[in-house]
């Protein structure tokens, strides 16, 4: 059973979002309320645009045991930050903890979102997160690198399914690199599973997803055996 009901009229949400006061940077004050536009959500992390500052942020949401995140792209949500926001992870500088489950306000998708994406997309000035390869040792992070990259794919993306272990991967070209990332985007995984195919690209991928993917939302994982991995947590349209 889904936690969030999607019945708030779009025009009401649009008015709410566009009347929010603007800030230069996110407010990370403990117990403060933050409003966000969801870009990707797993039980480990939810990536959003902070609607007041238009910055990329990450929420640690305390999902109950056995409950999977059902937040969807372009959901507008609000949450109260925890008393101890744990805003001190040098590998995930944008991450904060929230108190309880967020409240869904509605859905917001307008031309403004396209402009936000264009402003937030990762600059092509080197490898994603500043290092090549799929991972980096946790102890090498000093709080100077982002842990979120909204990547405008130059080639692709393609969605690939490995039958030997059941994993889903995203492949795309960016800055001269041929990038392969494990995919944790639930919608993308469902899409390729439904087709019973091992690869999707171009029109076939757009048909399966219901939109043409233009951005690959890339995040750094929590440490796994001492390393943080680059993962895809969302395939997104242009806006």
Cut 0.75: pTM above it: yes
CATH 2.40.50.140 fits 10-108, yes or no: yes
pLDDT in tens, 75-99: 999 999 999 999 999 999 999 999 9
pLDDT in tens, 30-41: 999 999 999 999
* Burial class of residue 66, CB neighbours in 10 A (0-12, 13-18, 19+): exposed
Judge whether 38 and 72 are in contact, CB under 8 Å: yes
| In the chain, where the domains are located | 10-108, 121-236
Residue listed under structure tokens 């238009």? 54
- The pLDDT, as a whole number, for residue 46 is 98
Q: Indicate the average pLDDT of the chain.
A: 94
- Using only C-alpha atoms, the chain has a radius of gyration, in whole angstroms, of 17
How does residue 1 score in pLDDT terms, banded at 50, 70 and 90?
very low
Give the H/E segment covering residue 33: strand 33-41
Instruction: Give the pLDDT mean for 52-76.
Output: 96
How does residue 2 score in pLDDT terms, banded at 50, 70 and 90?
very low
* Burial class of residue 200, CB neighbours in 10 A (0-12, 13-18, 19+): buried
How does residue 8 score in pLDDT terms, banded at 50, 70 and 90?
low
- The pLDDT, as a whole number, for residue 94 is 97
Torsion angle defined by CA atoms of residues 227, 144, 33 and 234, in that order, rounded to the nearest 10 degrees: -50
Residue 182 token pair:
């494990």
Does the structure show a pLDDT above 70 at 29?
Answer: yes
């Amino acid at each position: 059973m889904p936690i969030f009901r999607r019945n708030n009229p779009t025009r009401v949400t649009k008015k709410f979002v566009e009347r929010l006061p603007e800030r230069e940077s996110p407010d990370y004050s403990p117990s403060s309320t933050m409003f966000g536009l969801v870009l990707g959500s797993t039980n480990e992390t939810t990536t959003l645009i902070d609607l007041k500052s238009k910055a990329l942020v990450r929420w640690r949401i305390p999902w109950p045991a056995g409950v999977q995140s059902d937040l969807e792209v372009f959901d507008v949500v609000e949450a109260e930050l925890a008393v101890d926001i744990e805003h001190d992870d040098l590998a995930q500088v944008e991450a904060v903890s929230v108190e309880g489950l967020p409240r869904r306000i509605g859905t917001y998708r307008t031309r403004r979102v396209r402009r936000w994406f264009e402003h937030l997309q990762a600059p092509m000035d080197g490898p994603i997160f500043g290092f090549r390869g799929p991972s980096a040792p946790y102890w090498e992070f000093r709080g100077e690198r982002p842990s979120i990259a909204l990547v405008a794919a130059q080639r692709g993306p393609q969605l690939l399914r490995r039958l030997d272990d059941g994993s889903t991967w995203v492949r795309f070209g960016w800055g001269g690199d041929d990038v392969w990332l494990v995919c944790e985007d639930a919608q993308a995984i469902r899409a390729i599973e439904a087709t019973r195919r091992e690869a999707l690209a171009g029109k076939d991928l757009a048909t399966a997803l219901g939109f043409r993917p233009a951005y690959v939302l890339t995040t750094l994982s929590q440490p796994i055996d001492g390393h943080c991995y680059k993962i895809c947590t969302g395939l997104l349209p242009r806006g």
